[in-house]
Amino acid sequence: MSRRQFAAPTRDGDGPADDTGCTVLHVDMDAFYASASLISRPELRGRPVVIGGAGGRSVVLSATYEARAFGVTSAMPMARARRLCPQAVVIEPDHHRYAVISDAIMATFASVTEQVEPLSLDEAFLDVAGAIRRLGPPTRIAEQLRDTIADEQGITCSVGVASTKFVAKLASSLAKPDGLIVVPRAETVSFLHQLPVGAIWGVGDRTEEHLHQLGLRSVADLAHTPLETLQRALGDVAGRSLHDLAWGRDPRSVVPTRREKSIGADETFAHDIDDPVRIHRELLRLADRTAARARSAGMTGRTVSIKVRFSDFTTITRAKTLRHHTDVSREIFATARELYDRLGLQRARIRLVGVRLEGLVETGAAPIQARLDEPEHGWRDADRAVDRASARFGAGSVRPASLMGGTPGRRGDGSGTPGAGTRGG
């Protein structure tokens, strides 16, 4: 594996960088969804591969670096991705696999330090100040994390090591793919000032264009512009924030584990549909997926909500709070179907439906009530048996009978990623 550090702008440094005081790590998996999908498809490694549905309305969830070389990016319409890279292999996402691997990665982080702040399934900040005495300097810890994840999960990650969160995240993005960049505290400003203004956290396309119009093209240009000038051009808050970041000032600390407030999934149909039977089947599929994700995350929820988007893009939501917390597929589906049926839609043309579980707590933190009509070994036991089968044989290996054969017209891009935002890496 490559070991890139800030010693030089080349891919390989001339020696170990000084990581004294650089206790913040940003660890980011490389093309996570694509890499995880290829674990069982090793023959596709080195080829352009796109993760997402094959339907005309689907979007790209992730892409290998070979596909990115053709301009394919996350969230791009699949139709455009196919035009840019017609030779790409398209694979449907396996969210259960992603959740399992993510849980294992987060457990690896937790074995190093309790100060872990997940940003999504595939990236997190770590503060390793308390682990240095036990595990060695930050760079060694970063290397150990990379090796462990590669050995145990079969995927690679890139790591930025710095004295602040902003610089660590920036370093990891520059280290991709499969790299490590250490930004010594004393060299933070010189590291930043060589970069374009678009590298600054919070500078999007529009802000970058505005800064270019002001003649500010590098972080050094931004840093040496008077604060008052930036505030007049960008506003008081944005102007001060960008000025501070340009000088490497970022007082934010690593905030340990942020729990998801909700878990869910939605599906955009390839063609608008009005058949209530098909919509019920899709609600069952989404409820099953939502429940599996909740169980994988070790969470239960008390509120079930649905989202319905019509052909004119009008969107409505409905929710129901249960008397107890649940992670049972059958119960989530029954509630979702009840909410949908109450809408009284008569052959309305529907573009999207979604199911979400809210009011989450850790499993065991709230009582789960057994239903009077459940057998001795109830639906929760059945769900866990399905989880075990899916872990062994792959997602979808065991499904409700009514879902066998699939649903025509599904986009199948797995757009309902749980909770926090994701990145293609």
Residues 174 and 210 in one domain: no
Q: Is residue 409 part of a domain?
A: no
Residues 306 and 332 in one domain: yes
Pairing outcome for strands 157-162 and 180-182: parallel
Q: Does position 366 have pLDDT exceeding 90, yes or no? A: no
pLDDT digits (tens, 9 = 90+) for 147-202: 999 999 999 999 999 999 999 999 999 999 999 999 999 999 999 999 999 998 87
Residues 200 and 180 in one domain: no
Query: What average pLDDT does this structure show over 100-108?
Result: 91
Query: What average pLDDT does this structure show over 258-277?
Result: 83
Reference 19, options 149, 169, 265, 184; nearest CA is 184
Residues 325 and 215 in one domain: no
Confidence of residue 361 (pLDDT cuts 50, 70, 90): confident
Q: Is residue 98 part of a domain?
A: yes
Q: Is residue 335 part of a domain?
A: yes
Confidence of residue 400 (pLDDT cuts 50, 70, 90): low
The CATH number assigned to the domain holding 202 equals 1.10.150.20
Token digits of residue 347: 């052959």
Kindly give the interhelix angle for 95-112 and 138-153, rounded to the nearest 10 degrees. Answer: 150
Q: How high is the pLDDT of residue 177?
A: 93
DSSP character for 268?
Answer: E
Q: Is residue 416 part of a domain?
A: no
Q: Does position 424 have pLDDT exceeding 50, yes or no? A: no
Residues 6 and 154 in one domain: yes
Q: Is residue 425 part of a domain?
A: no
Residues 232 and 376 in one domain: no
Residues 39 and 167 in one domain: yes
The CATH number assigned to the domain holding 154 equals 3.30.70.270
Q: How high is the pLDDT of residue 43?
A: 95
Q: How high is the pLDDT of residue 9?
A: 33
Q: Does position 377 have pLDDT exceeding 60, yes or no? A: no
Residues 131 and 207 in one domain: no
Annotated binding site: 28, 122
Domain assignment of residue 163, given as a range: 1-184
Q: How high is the pLDDT of residue 360?
A: 83
Annotated binding site for Mg(2+): 28, 122
Q: Does position 139 have pLDDT exceeding 60, yes or no? A: yes
Residues 159 and 103 in one domain: yes
Token digits of residue 196: 């374009």
Last residue of a domain, one of 184, 209, 226: 184
The domain tally of the chain equals 3
Residues 32 and 123 in one domain: yes
Residues 232 and 115 in one domain: no
Q: Is residue 339 part of a domain?
A: yes
Q: Is residue 417 part of a domain?
A: no
Q: In what order do the strands lie in the sheet with 24-29?
A: 116-120, 123-127, 24-29, 157-162, 180-182
Place of tokens 């757009």: 415
Distance CA 143, CA 214 (A): 41
Q: Let me know if 270 is exposed, middle or buried by CB neighbors in 10 A (0-12, 13-18, 19+).
A: middle
Tell me which of 66, 117, 123, 260 is the catalytic residue.
Answer: 123
Residues 28 and 166 in one domain: yes
Share of residues in the chain with pLDDT > 70 (%):
80
* Cα–Cα separations (whole angstroms), residue 329 to 17, 371, 418: 51, 14, 16
Q: How high is the pLDDT of residue 35?
A: 95
N- to C-terminal Cα separation, the chain: 17
* Lowest-pLDDT choice from 24-28, 52-56, 192-196: 52-56
Q: Is residue 411 part of a domain?
A: no
The CATH number assigned to the domain holding 367 equals 3.30.1490.100
Place of tokens 């109830």: 378
Q: Does position 369 have pLDDT exceeding 80, yes or no? A: no
* Lowest-pLDDT choice from 119-133, 159-173, 401-415: 401-415
- The answer to whether the CB of 131 falls within 8 A of the CB of 140 is no
Confidence of residue 47 (pLDDT cuts 50, 70, 90): very high
Q: Is 117 a catalytic residue?
A: no
